[in-house]
Amino acid sequence: MRCAAAIVALLMTASPAAAQDSHLLVIVGLSGSPENGDMFHRWALSLVEAAEGRHGLPAESVIYLSEDPSRDPKHIDDRSTREGIRAAVERIATRARPGDHVFIVLIGHGASAQGEARFNLPGPDLSAREYAGLLGRFGAQTVVFVNTASASGGLVAALAGRDRVVIAATRHEGERNQTRFGEFFVEAIAGAEGDIDKDGRVSMAEAFTWAQRRVTESYKRDGQLQTEHATLDDDGDGAGTDAPGQSGGDGALARTLFLSASVDGRPGPNAAADPALRALYEEQRALEQRVAALKAARAKMDPAQYDKELEQLLVALARKSREISEREKR
């Protein structure tokens, strides 16, 4: 009872809380051709520049790995080999504090051999088990893992877990054609188009949904059969969905995550002139801080109780975001 009381007190006094930071690792794998190399670098650079510019991440919190660092020595930190990826993950793990958000985005080609999906790297690929081990370094953080390559859906089940959002460009490892999802996902994060609810920020759920729509539109425009169907898992069951946001399903956590220098919410463009909207943003920020405080207290809690309280907070946060969205439209 004393432990439960202490946790309740922690949640109730979470505001003001120390700002939690974001860390970004962008990995561009094998390109296969000069044209793809240019295209993948363009997407990755757009994401890196948006992270450091539009979203305010410090340069030391952003790592860009590529098969050819000489393409852009100013922005590319190292080769995207398995050793380079492990070193980058370790670097982030030593910097990240409990409650921070870690974003890992893979851009390139994928494949499936003997029933196992792989992301193609220079040299030996990392297996699903090895990626899961790397993500295990962030047990005190929330992780967003985005694989924009073909066959990427085959990694979702292996990487799903508590406090993780796993996004893949394909439904399963059988969708092996080159994907378009990466281009539109980066556009959603780098620009304002992905801000579906017009609250001044782009959540991972919004980026997923916007990119998914653009992929479908592009295939229809080109008169081609759609060969990729993106999926998202954030409830840890490994069964992703292409329609996050359904009651009791995937999407609740993804709606609360933003690539930004601080996970604290910031008012949208109309909040200054609307006291009611400003109050809603303050309530949203308080809920986000309670989520962070709950995660920090997870080690002291019964797992079932933790899951129950986290679900309640995420549902409340989703409802608050919906209230903000409806208010913004007035």
pLDDT band at 96, cuts 50/70/90? Answer: very high
- Asked whether the predicted pLDDT for residue 4 surpasses 80, the reply is no
**Confidence (pLDDT) at 66:** 98
Please determine, for residue 265, whether its predicted confidence score (pLDDT) is greater than 60: no
Q: What is the mean pLDDT of residues 175-195?
A: 93
Please check the confidence at residue 97 and state whether its pLDDT lies above 80. yes
* In the chain, % of residues over pLDDT 70: 89
pLDDT band at 1 (very low <50, low <70, confident <90, very high): very low
pLDDT at 121: 98
pLDDT at 262: 61
327 touches 276 (CB < 8 A): yes
Q: Is the pLDDT of residue 116 over 70?
A: yes
Q: Taking Cα atoms as reference points, which of 247, 288, 232, 242 lies closest to residue 265?
A: 288
223-227 mean pLDDT: 97
Cβ atoms of residues 238 and 156 within 8 Å: yes
Give the model confidence (pLDDT) of 11-61 as tens digits.
444 443 445 789 999 999 999 999 999 999 999 999 999 999 988 999 999
Per-residue pLDDT band at 107 (split at 50, 70, 90) = very high
Element (H, E) at 65: strand 62-66
Looking at residue 186, its pLDDT comes to 97
84 versus 283: which is more confidently predicted?
84
SS3 96: coil
Q: What is the pLDDT of residue 254?
A: 93
So what's the pLDDT on residue 273? 65
pLDDT at residue 63 tops 60: yes
* Mean pLDDT, rounded, of the chain: 87
The enclosing H or E element of 102 equals strand 101-107
CA dihedral 287, 312, 299, 255 (to 10 degrees): -60
- Statement: residue 143 has pLDDT above 70: yes
Lowest pLDDT segment from 104-113, 176-185, 209-218, 240-249: 240-249
Ranking 29-43, 85-99, 133-147, 272-286 by mean pLDDT, the lowest is: 272-286
Overall pTM surpassing 0.85 (yes/no):
no
Q: Which two tokens stand for residue 311?
A: 């679900």
In the DSSP assignment, the letter for residue 126 is P
The vertex-304 CA angle with 303 and 309, nearest 5°, equals 100
Residue 19, pLDDT score: 54
